[in-house]
Chains A and B, each alone.
Chain A
């Protein structure tokens, strides 16, 4: 093929490679989405929503058929758990009331724990799966902002990577991202604070690092968000302690945390907006 690398084409190819490198460099920066990107994303999101509904109906039908086979066993188990649940429920109610009363006594209205849930449905996934991300049908117009926590009823699954006007991209906790740090603590007699940094793909566990070396941690203890990171509310469940090991340098400990939520099988999520931020915003506006 002698005419394959004609001069004009070769130049075109080189120019496009330069543009490619420049664009990759541009998109690697820590940035907000530009408006053309947001527009494209929202438009595709709309088309996806149209196609997604019937596809999910069909898939849901097969899942239902599969579920029916296990119904008897599950029902038995659930009935046993129901009584426990009632006892727990009354306890929670009593504690809630007491908490409210004590708060009123202290005149402390805000808590890091309170949040406003934004319900969202998954409308797409990144098909090339180099980064595990999902696309949900709620965006800035509904109050979603960058870095907000995303949970399912089981626990934390990720955070909002980018929010455009009507859709947003959720980065799952299993993504390999050094910047993805979450302030968390191990629940016990004494709460032990650390940072969730990274994910071990082989063991399918999150890594909770920077724990004091003399901290006493046992297996099966719960790990929750601490709310100190600035964006996430307090006490969102993350997982359970799987194993405690000394850190690379032996100065601190590292905990393998088994996530409570399934990162892969997600249909509906809740995007969590801290109430304390809302009240702060209102106050600023009032000024």
Chain B
């Protein structure tokens, strides 16, 4: 049972993104602004901080591949960035003080980086022609807002859960 706690948490975070977009009321706000849930990325950053770098990177790679195959059908984009962000987060924690608030800010920062990176790639391959200002206004700021709400509500329980998983593993 203990063994399955972390994968289960990962799956929940992964699937909840898609479901969140699906049940979100489809009004003008939905069409004009892109609230992109990045719950799984938050999970990856927290896992990198509280569980360990290698495992966070492996989870990032596996679910990145899944993300690419099921949602975007553009292989490589997320399977590269998720492990990379996990690596950066783990490395950054060596310098920074390990605190829940700092973890939150780090995940927000990585969300912004990821959004910019995906925007760059979409622009490069010509799938979008959104100007940068529009991107900031319609995509980056709503996304950050949504994820701040998520962080405020659920990041503390998430952290507690991860710490508990880690402790149980160390006891074994």
Q: Do A and B actually bind?
A: yes
Chain A residues with CB under 8 Å of chain B are 1, 4, 13, 16-17, 19-24, 26-28, 33, 37, 40-41, 44-45, 47-48, 51-52, 55-56, 58-59, 122, 124-131, 133, 135, 161-162, 169, 176, 204, 262, 264-265
Q: Which of A4, A26, A130, A176 has the most CB of B within 10 A?
A: A130
A58 to B24, CA, bound (A): 12
Return the chain B residue nearest A42 by Cβ: B70
A interface footprint on B102-139 (CB within 8 Å = 1, 0 otherwise): 00000000000000001001100101110000000000
| Cβ-defined contact, A23 with B76, below 8 A | yes
Least Cβ distance of B153 to chain A in Å? 17
B20 contacts chain A at the CB level, 8 A cutoff:
yes
Q: Is B77 an interface residue (CB 8 A)?
A: yes
Do A27 and B80 form a contact, CB below 8 Å, given A56-B23, A264-B31?
A: no
Q: A271 to chain B: closest CB distance in Å?
A: 18
Flag B11-49 by CB within 8 Å of A: 1 or 0 each. 110011111111100100011001011000000000000
The answer to whether B75 and A26 have CB atoms under 8 Å apart is yes
Q: What chain B residues lie within 8 Å of A16 (beta carbons)?
A: 80, 84
List 15 extra interface pairs beyond A48-B15, A56-B22, A124-B18, CB under 8 A.
A1-B95, A16-B84, A22-B76, A24-B74, A24-B75, A24-B76, A24-B121, A27-B76, A44-B70, A47-B15, A48-B19, A124-B71, A130-B127, A133-B71, A135-B18
Which residue of chain B has the shortest Cβ distance to A51 in the bound complex?
B15
The prevalent SS among residues of B at the interface is helix
Query: Measured between alpha carbons, how far is A51 from B14 in the docked complex, in Å?
Result: 11
Let me know if B65 is at the binding interface, CB within 8 A: yes
Closest 7 CB pairs of A and B: A23-B76, A59-B23, A265-B26, A127-B17, A264-B26, A124-B18, A23-B75
CB atoms of B36 and A19 under 8 A apart: no
A125 close to B76 (CB less than 8 A): no
The answer to whether the Cβ of B5 comes within 8 Å of any Cβ in the partner chain is no
> Is B91's beta carbon under 8 Å from chain A?
yes
Least CB distance from B143 to A in Å reads: 9
A124 touches B36 (CB 8 A): no
Chain B residues closer than 8 Å to A130, beta-carbon distance: 72, 118, 122, 127-128
**By the criterion of a CB under 8 Å from any partner CB, how many residues of chain B are at the interface?**
40
A66 to chain B, nearest CB (A): 9
Min Cβ gap A212→B in Å is 29
Instruction: Check if A4 sits within 8 Å of B73, measured CB to CB.
Output: no
A41 to B122, CA, bound (A): 22
Please determine whether A129 and B34 come into contact, CB atoms closer than 8 angstroms. yes
Residues of B within 8 Å of A21, CB to CB, are 76
| Shortest Cβ distance from residue A278 to the other chain B in the assembled complex, whole angstroms | 28
**In the bound complex, CA of A1 to CA of B16 (Å):** 36
Q: Quote the shortest CB–CB distance from A61 to chain B (angstroms).
A: 11
* CA–CA, A127 and B146, complex, Å: 13
Bound-state Cα–Cα, A23 to B78, Å:
11
* B30 CB contacts on chain A under 8 angstroms: 264
Chain B residues with CB under 8 A of A13: 84
B22 touches which of A28, A40, A47, A125 (Cβ 8 Å):
A125
Q: What's the nearest-Cβ distance from chain B to residue A120, in Å?
A: 14
A56 CA to B22 CA in the complex, in Å?
A: 9
- On whether the beta carbons of A40 and B129 are closer than 8 Å, the reply is no
Cβ–Cβ contact A176 & B73, under 8 A: no
Could you tell me if B22 and A1 are in contact, using CB atoms closer than 8 angstroms? Answer: no
Chain A residues, Cβ within 8 Å of B76: 19-24, 27
* B148 close to chain A: CB less than 8 A: no
Q: Is the CB of A127 within 8 A of B71?
A: yes
Q: Which residue from A59, A128, A264 sits with its C-beta under 8 Å from B118?
A: A128
